[in-house]
Amino acid sequence: MKILTNLAFVQSRVWSAAAESICADGESPDEMGALRQAWRLWRRRRGADAVVTMGARASLAYGLLCAATGVASRQVMMEYFLDIPRPESWRWRFKHALYRIVARRALGILVNSKGEIESTASRFGLERAKVLFVPMYSTIEKPECVEDNEGIVVSVGRTLRDNATLLAAARRFRAPLVLVVGKDDKLPEPLPSNVELLREIPLEEAHRLMRRAAVVVIPLLPAERSTGQVVVLEAMALGKPVVATELAGTVDLIASGVDGVLVPAGDAEALASAVNHLLETPDEARAIGRAAYRRIAATGSADHRGRAMLEAVAALAAR
């Protein structure tokens, strides 16, 4: 089948070989802007069995252009993140109405967690069969089981992080916590004495930090959209035991007690207990880290996701 896309998924040779990109060599979709991406997709859509659009703005612009010109979009939307509904705002209602038009004309939507299937279908009034889950992949190309550690707890991330619960739990951690947040993220003060705060560090530095960790913690706020999977997958790819909030996204990646540990949302006591247990039982922590590494080594590559995307797009096109 012929796939046209604005997605620059060069990490996957499988995807890149099967999909025709509108990006010229060395060109980034972000540099083009949503309107130019939509225009290129629209001009080159003829003959495509599916047009895979990445990003909310580009997806909306392409879908509306197809609707305005009366042509079938053959669109598969990706990375549309469900925002918080604001029915009291006419701007939100108008934007939601436009996305609903585009989504209902599309072949379907690919989401990053099983939990988002129901919420996405409900938001746009779609059949459940038009929303498919495709697992994410680890950005660490060569997984390695790093069992040595410096006895520290590490937490990295920005989007929808529950740092209030993390810091409340950290007061009971029996180890130092290194917390990495965005440059403008607000945190409860004062910080516990065992917390070292870092802001906006490069990806390579974050990976080096996780290599030093005895435990990696991903505390998340409940939301319709999933988040935190990238850090979960990176930590697992390094063979680190992960303690994460049990929510959409993390439940697809972690079998609690086997290759990670899941704790209830907002429960500082459970979070502290899980972290301290792994710190105090290094053999169990190593076993969980090894299981995590094996899982990502087997199913967490970019090509694994690329194949899953191609299968999902083909299934939607066949409908």
Query: 156 and 294 share a domain?
Result: yes
% pLDDT > 70, the chain:
99
Query: 164 and 99 share a domain?
Result: no
Query: 18 and 131 share a domain?
Result: yes
Lowest mean pLDDT among 70-84, 125-139, 168-182, 287-301: 70-84
> Crossing angle of helices 268-280/163-170, nearest 10°?
50
Per-residue pLDDT, 316: 97
In a domain, 239, yes or no: yes
Q: How far is CA 170 from CA 5, 68, 178, 189, in A?
A: 44, 54, 10, 13
| Confidence tier at 224 by pLDDT (50, 70, 90) | confident
Structure tokens at 23: 């990006």
Query: 106 and 174 share a domain?
Result: no
| Confidence tier at 30 by pLDDT (50, 70, 90) | confident
* Total count of domains within the chain: 2
The answer for residues whose C-beta is within 8 angstroms of residue 95's C-beta and 6 or more apart is none
